[in-house]
Structure 1
Amino acid sequence: MKAIVQDRFGPPEVLRFADVEVPAIGPAEVLIRVRAAALNPYDWHVLRGDPKIARLLGIGLTRPRERVAGVDAAGVVEAVGADVRDLRPGDEVLGCAHGSFAEFARAAADRVVPKPAALTFEQAAGLALAGQTALRGIRDAGGVAAGSRVLVNGAAGGVGHLAVQIAVALGAEVTGVCSTRNVGFVRGLGAAHVVDHTAEDFADGSRTYDVILDNVANRSLRDLRRALAPRGTLVVNGGGSPGEVIGAIGGIARAVVLDRFVGQRIRPLPDRWDRRHLLALTELVAARELAPVVDRTYALADVAEGLRHVESGHARGKCAVTVS
């Protein structure tokens, strides 16, 4: 099968379009014929082995642990393991499938769910990682409920545009922070207020929020706390640029320490997979309260180009790879 292969850490140029063997599956896994895969900031972090501390935390010490890149997929079940009972060949699914930049990918059966008919494969591919991140940040860590005043920093991005929709679906009054060109886009997602960060400072203290989801890490914790209500919750979700040793992990560690000494709640984003999260997302899709927006699509052979665009930080919504 055709796949995007990475044998060493480095820039997008290290990726190769090559022939590899179709992956074998275990008893609790499924083989997916990939129709589309999502491009995530996670992918360029793995591509570069960045931040360097992440190499000690499981992505690989001297080379990527997973030779075939990609983590999100949507497609059709090709085969199932002996212990899989609720999926069968021919089912259309979405979820986490390591090695998704390929014609076939394997996935744990409990990490995929049926694809909503309302979504294209490209939209569905963008729901798993970014959607779960947004759901955990807004609903679980943030505790957003009806009437909550919520600010999403980076509201036009892959996680941000889904977080805005999820918060609106929960009944929150949402403010989205984005660049000038994305003001209309974020307003169209349902945000009651939009802050153009090139012209306004959301952290000047003139308005405070019950929950802030920070997807960008371009403001200090002091700035963010200035925009947070006295008993509000700040959820810290990554960010960071290439070439770092600690990267966003340092900011998350500082947030954990600070939480012990202030009245506001400073929460790192919970890092866990749960099939119930995927099902909650597809329920929101079925209720027409959530829809991933696809900014650009790329052919499988052009994954490197797509990752350059995602790494630039200018992607609106999700970027997808059309495989077949």
Structure 2
Amino acid sequence: MKAAIFKFYGSPEVMEIRDVDKPFIKEEDRVLIKVVSASINQYDNLFRKGYIPTRLENGFTKPKTQILGIDVAGIVEAVGKNVQKFKVGDHVFGSCVGSHAEYVCPRQNVLSLMPKNSTFEEAAAIPCAAQTALQALRDVAQVKAGDKVLVYGASGGVGHFAVQLARYYGAEVTAVCSTSNIGWIRDLGAEHVIDYTKEDFAHNGKKYNIILDAVGKRTYFSCLRSLTENGIYITEHPLYPKYHPIQLMIGSIIGSKKAKIHLAKPNDSDLDLLRVLKEKEILRPVIEKCFTLNEIVEAHRHVESGRTKGKVVLKIE
């Protein structure tokens, strides 16, 4: 099968299309999927560049896992003996390492049936980013109706889902983005929008119960004055070079204003919920651009720019 691989850490140019062995079902709870679409996340850039924390997991000098991608949407071609949820021919979406390839073989507990009103591209845009936003707001911050939530980086992959999910839980949402994104972010449900090129929210005197830094561009201490007495700051990108983990350690044990790192934990229950929200048109994935698998280098360059509006999707088939 064809796959986008990287044999060395580095710039987008290390990515190349190669023929590799097609996966097969080894364990009885796995599903063989013909990949139609996948998306690119900051996760892929971090692993491809080889930031030190990722090298500890994926090999210090050269990558052990050479196929990136953690979101998948496709068609079931085979199922293991213990698979109950899916059958051959089902359209599914979910989380799976190595999805930038023609086939993947994930466990059934990280998959769900595709939303009935979704294209493969839309479904591939949902899993990682939307589960990240959902778990951060619902589980870590325990958002409730009436909370004031600020989403920094609201036009990005995690951010634009966070705006919609915070509204779903009844929060009052303030979105922070650049000038060109204000219109469509309002359309997603943000009641207030701050243009970060013209105003720093940390200096306007307003306070929020939850500040979700969806792009890793703010520090805990820079947000302290904007948190309510028992407010919580959550970061989704603790691996960025400018990020200082000591801040979170201090913020987690001192005072009433908390700081948390959050990384998504893929699971079928959350995917099932996101499927229902998409079918009810409560959740809408925004896709800025689609690339083919052969355009993998250009796709990585685009995501690495940090100016993606919503999601970037790969068309594999």
Q: Which residue of 2 aligns with 1:318?
A: 311
Corresponding letter in the other structure for 1:25: I
Of the structure 1 ranges 88-97 and 58-67, higher mean CA displacement relative to structure 2 is found in 58-67
Corresponding letter in the other structure for 1:41: Q
- Which deviations, in whole Å up to 9, do the C-alpha atoms of 1:56-95 show, x marking residues without a partner? 1x12222223222211110001111122122111000001
Q: How far apart are residue 281 of structure 1 and its match?
A: 1.3
Alpha-carbon distance in 2 for matches of 1:220, 1:142: 17
8 Å Cα contact 2:16-2:296 kept in structure 1: no
8 Å Cα contact 2:220-2:259 kept in structure 1: no
8 Å Cα contact 2:70-2:97 kept in structure 1: yes
SS class of match (1:187): helix
Q: Which residue of 1 aligns with 2:292?
A: 299
8 Å Cα contact 2:236-2:263 kept in structure 1: no
RMSD: 1.5
Corresponding letter in the other structure for 1:54: T
- Which deviations, in whole Å up to 9, do the C-alpha atoms of 1:178-233 show, x marking residues without a partner? 01111112111110000000101100151001111012332332221111111111
Written as runs of structure 1 = structure 2, the 5 A alignment for 1:18-97 is 18-26=18-26, 27-50=28-51, 52-56=52-56, 58-97=57-96
Task: Say whether residues 1:285 and 2:311 are aligned partners.
Answer: no
Q: Which residue of 2 aligns with 1:215?
A: 214
- Which deviations, in whole Å up to 9, do the C-alpha atoms of 1:94-153 show, x marking residues without a partner? 011221111111111111110001111111111111111000111111111111110000
Alpha-carbon distance in 2 for matches of 1:185, 1:260: 38
Alpha-carbon distance in 1 for matches of 2:179, 2:102: 38
Q: Which residue of 1 aligns with 2:255?
A: 262
Written as runs of structure 1 = structure 2, the 5 A alignment for 1:101-180 is 101-180=100-179
TM-score (norm 2): 0.95
TM-score (norm 1): 0.93
Q: Which residue of 2 aligns with 1:275?
A: 268
Q: Which runs of 5+ in 1 are unaligned?
A: none
- Which deviations, in whole Å up to 9, do the C-alpha atoms of 1:256-278 show, x marking residues without a partner? 33221111122221542322111
Alpha-carbon distance in 1 for matches of 2:269, 2:5: 31
Residues 293 and 78 from structure 1, CA distance in 2 versus in 1: closer, same or farther, beyond 3 angstroms?
A: same
SS class of match (1:152): strand
Q: How far apart are residue 240 of structure 1 and its match?
A: 5.7
8 Å Cα contact 1:99-1:106 kept in structure 2: no
Residues 210 and 268 from structure 1, CA distance in 2 versus in 1: closer, same or farther, beyond 3 angstroms?
A: same
Alpha-carbon distance in 2 for matches of 1:297, 1:233: 35
Alpha-carbon distance in 2 for matches of 1:271, 1:199: 32
8 Å Cα contact 2:251-2:257 kept in structure 1: no
Q: Which runs of 5+ in 2 are unaligned?
A: none
8 Å Cα contact 1:98-1:106 kept in structure 2: no
Residues 270 and 105 from structure 1, CA distance in 2 versus in 1: closer, same or farther, beyond 3 angstroms?
A: closer
Corresponding letter in the other structure for 2:78: A
- Which deviations, in whole Å up to 9, do the C-alpha atoms of 1:167-186 show, x marking residues without a partner? 01111110000011111121
- Which deviations, in whole Å up to 9, do the C-alpha atoms of 1:4-57 show, x marking residues without a partner? 11112111111111111211222211111001000100001111111x12211x
Alpha-carbon distance in 1 for matches of 2:106, 2:183: 37
8 Å Cα contact 2:35-2:104 kept in structure 1: yes
